[in-house]
Chains A and B, each alone.
Chain A
Amino acid sequence: MTTLDSGVDTLADVTSSEDRLRRFLLGLPGVDQVGAEARAATLSSRSIKTTAKQYALDLAISMIDLTTLEGQDTPGKVRALCAKAKRPDPADPTAPQVAAVCVYPDLVATAKRELQGSGINVASVATAFPSGRSSLAIKVQDTKDAVAAGADEVDMVIDRGAFLSGRYAMVFDEIAAIREAAGDAHLKVILETGELVTYDNVRRASWLAMLAGADFIKTSTGKVSPAATLPVTLVMLEAVRDYHEATGLHIGVKPAGGIRTAKDAIKYLVTVNETAGPDWLDPELFRFGASSLLNDLLMQRTKLATGHYPGPDYFTLD
């Protein structure tokens, strides 16, 4: 079966049994590693200047999920992060807000209170993040806790062990269960591409997540190296583009981890623009999971406006 001629009905069919799901995923077109990486390299050679750069910097800021996922996180730290999310550049109120603040479930309530009325979403990692190695019951409860505390978005991790051993139906069922537990919250499915290793696996996992009800597919937890890379994101963008062609549905993509500079962020935006298309240039459909990226974007933004680089102390720590 090819990806383009599979309509909604046939896609429902492929998830009707474990065997069919498996055959569908294994029947997806392969990804040639050399070619995918060469394409990503070509896309990174686009030269984005002047007005296009201004547009890109502001767009990138508005796509950030400002994240703190540390064992040492405290309500104070989260409040500081929320303040930054609302007003990234205290010196320049024209800097856009970020898209969301992403925290562990126990800190969702704090973030929710801080962000009340700002329009900024609260995202929470659930499902035994980052390894995902606990029972489904616990993952479901984790998700419910986050949503009950007010999370607008849930970032779940897939069971990579199950995926790599070919138990696709198990991964599918788990995503579907979390989808249900998350209720109205947006579901972002973390594939942890660094552990899936091959681009073929990335493409299969992307389709698996989309078929199971993901609103977003996300590269990484940020706890595994390599985290997001441009070729991996390219393959995922191709998958959402093909899924859209097959079903009419728009699924978002979120590279996370390791994107630290404005220059890198712009390469991602170019890749989005030329792969999935301009529809995806929207915080509804593309996010950066990054925290250190924001200050570099703000610094480049100030440079464009004033002609010189301010020092790092002109931007807040978090």
Chain B
Amino acid sequence: MSRFEYAPAPESRAIVDIKSSYGLFVNGQFTDATDGKPFKTVSPSSEEVLAEVSEAGPADVDRAVRAARKAYEKVWGPMSGKDRAKYLFRIARLIQERSRELAVLESLDNGKPIRESRDVDIPLVAAHFFYYAGWADKLEYAGAGDDPRPWGVAGQVIPWNFPMLMLAWKIAPALAAGNTVVLKPAETTPLTALAFAEICQQADLPPGVVNIVTGAGRTGQALVEHPDVDKIAFTGSTAVGRAIAKAIAGTEKAVTLELGGKAANIVFEDAPIDQTIEGIVNGIFFNQGHVCCAGSRLLVQESVYDEVLGRLKRRMETLRVGDPLDKNTDIGAINSPAQLAKIRELSQIGEDEGAERWSPECELPSQGYWFPPTVFTGVSQAHRIAREEIFGPVLSVLTFRTPAEAVEKANNTPFGLSAGIWTEKGSRILWMANQLRAGVVWANTFNRFDPTSPFGGYKESGYGREGGRHGLEAYLAH
């Protein structure tokens, strides 16, 4: 008998019906774009062209905003919270019913493993709609004043790392609070947002309440700068976030920005060792490291450095990289050639600056965009790989000797989105969590999300919170 090699177990694509081309979703209808060039969306694991998607120019964005305004004034704004909740519950149920299809579509368009889209992303998407549906008729109890009012039209721009989940984070609270939305998905991952547009039709959502305009930076800019948009919500890079903050400075637009991160995952000598290794792996290799709150800086107490590194490498050797639609794949494809180039460039810089690079033996597919799980040791605070967000499966390992030093190093970053603490000592967890300047601090776990829990950053990681009551508040004027 041979070794236990897992035979491929691919999820069927037949469940997904991808059209050859998609228009914009404006006022409840798919319509042609009037002033943009169509672009193609490809599957990052195979470079196969999946569909042609419209680019929305300023005139199209204007149409979408006007549709949203009308829907806000005539239908959605005046509607009772209880009735809005019915629509949101209906959407949540439709997402559950179509979850397999959405998971396959997400893995095709984004490159993430089906294990994650099926077991994490889509269940969380449905959970967010269910959660905020529950708030729709209870806004006055959300802690945002006695008579909280929606802002009006929300312009939302989301990234490509969790296309459907970010859509849910944005649209669910916005609609629950009574806003209407114009949402721009990322140009490399528009397909699940367009599938969501179909779900809105299926749910009989009044026309104009949700509008989806596809496109790249130009479309996003037109949306952000549109004078009739009341509230901007953006998740993406710090550079774009800064540009948005500048663009809307002096206007009355409300804004939430969820930007980059360079989280410290801090391991003390008394940590629950095997679960810590899982947490490190999950922290940086989940979704190919395309996670703004990824634990990309591992801070290990010097006394357990060798043990942690040895175990981490052994564990990394069992990671399966490859076809995202294979149910046994742990790490999928890098989302785009541009992102792959950036990961390669920063990794090269890491080597050039003297850090030691290691990856397990793993065969990468010849087609598509791939990067092996990678760990850099001998990294110091002064290295660029310890400071810049790589947004890929690349872990930098640093060491510390005392809790105070761990806090100092963890906070010594322009970012402040998340952090992780691994120790069996409860008092240390609480002490550390108070010292760390990060929006989320996980203890003995990492990358856990729940609709009830607020998420957001300090410093260059942005401002405002999404999720929980706080996320609802961001869509309410008071």
Contacts and interface: CB of A to CB of B under 8 A. Distances in A.
Contacts of A270: 4
B318 A274 contact: yes
Nearest to A279: B3
Contacts of B270: 29-30
A49 B6 CA distance: 7
A34 to B, nearest CB: 7
B338 interface: no
Interface in B259-306: 270-276, 278-279, 304, 306
A269 B3 CA distance: 12
B1 A34 contact: no
Contacts, number: 85
Interface in A44-68: 45-53, 55-56, 58-59
Nearest to B9: A47
Contact of A29 (B1, B272, B279, B318): B272
B413 interface: no
B356 interface: no
Interface string A1-14: 01111000000000
Interface size of B as a range: 20 to 34
Contact of B307 (A5, A51, A52, A58): A5
B271 A29 contact: yes
A137 interface: no
A120 B1 CA distance: 19
A35 interface: yes
Contacts of A164: none
Interface in B77-120: 115, 119
A273 interface: yes
A80 B186 CA distance: 66
Interface in B304-333: 304, 306-307, 310-311, 318, 327-328
Contacts of A274: 318
A4 B445 CA distance: 23
A50 B328 CA distance: 14
Given A45-B115, A45-B119, A45-B327, A52 B275 contact: no
B4 A55 contact: yes
* Most chain B CB atoms below 10 A, which of A35, A36, A269, A281: A35
B273 A55 contact: no
A35 B4 contact: no
A278 interface: yes
A32 interface: yes
A31 B275 contact: yes
A45 B445 CA distance: 19
B444 interface: yes
B275 A4 contact: no
Contacts of B4: 52, 55-56, 59, 269-270, 273, 278, 281
A51 to B, nearest CB: 5
A35 B5 contact: no
A193 to B, nearest CB: 16
Contact of A55 (B1, B9, B272): B1
Contacts of A106: none
B2 interface: yes
Interface in B390-424: 424
Contact of B278 (A4, A35, A48, A273): A35
B7 interface: yes
B2 A55 contact: yes
A38 interface: yes
Contacts of A53: 7
B272 A30 contact: yes
Nearest to A62: B1
A31 B5 contact: no
A262 to B, nearest CB: 15
Contacts of B279: 35
B265 to A, nearest CB: 14
A4 B307 contact: yes
Contact of B1 (A4, A32, A58): A58
B272 A48 contact: no
B275 A47 contact: no
Given A48-B6, A269-B4, A30 B307 contact: no
Nearest to A31: B272
A3 B306 CA distance: 12
A238 B6 contact: no
Contact of B9 (A5, A32, A48): A48
B270 to A, nearest CB: 7
Contacts of A32: 272, 275, 424, 444
A50 B278 contact: no
A167 interface: no
Contacts of B9: 47-49
Contact of B328 (A2, A39, A47, A55): A47
Contact of B274 (A2, A5, A238, A278): A238
Nearest to B423: A30
A59 B5 contact: no
Contact of B310 (A4, A47, A58): A4
A2 B278 CA distance: 18
B367 to A, nearest CB: 23
B443 to A, nearest CB: 10
Nearest to A59: B1
B330 to A, nearest CB: 9
B327 to A, nearest CB: 4
* Most chain B CB atoms below 10 A, which of A51, A52, A273: A52
A81 to B, nearest CB: 25
B444 A34 contact: yes
A29 B6 contact: no
Contacts of A278: 3-4
B313 to A, nearest CB: 12
A47 B327 contact: yes
Given A46-B328, A281-B3, A281-B4, A31 B274 contact: yes
A2 B3 CA distance: 31
B287 to A, nearest CB: 15
A46 B327 CA distance: 7
Given A38-B278, A56-B4, A274-B318, A2 B304 contact: yes
A2 B115 CA distance: 34
A53 B9 CA distance: 11
Interface string A235-266: 10010000000000000000000000000000
22 contacts: A3-B273, A4-B311, A5-B307, A34-B444, A35-B279, A35-B444, A39-B275, A47-B9, A47-B327, A48-B7, A49-B7, A50-B7, A52-B4, A52-B7, A53-B7, A55-B2, A56-B4, A238-B274, A269-B4, A270-B4, A273-B4, A278-B3
Interface of B: 1-9, 115, 119, 270-276, 278-279, 304, 306-307, 310-311, 318, 327-328, 424, 444-445
A-B interface, 4 closest residue pairs, ranked by CB to CB distance from nearest: A35-B275, A47-B9, A47-B327, A32-B272
Interface of A: 2-5, 29-32, 34-36, 38-39, 45-53, 55-56, 58-59, 235, 238, 269-270, 273-274, 278, 281
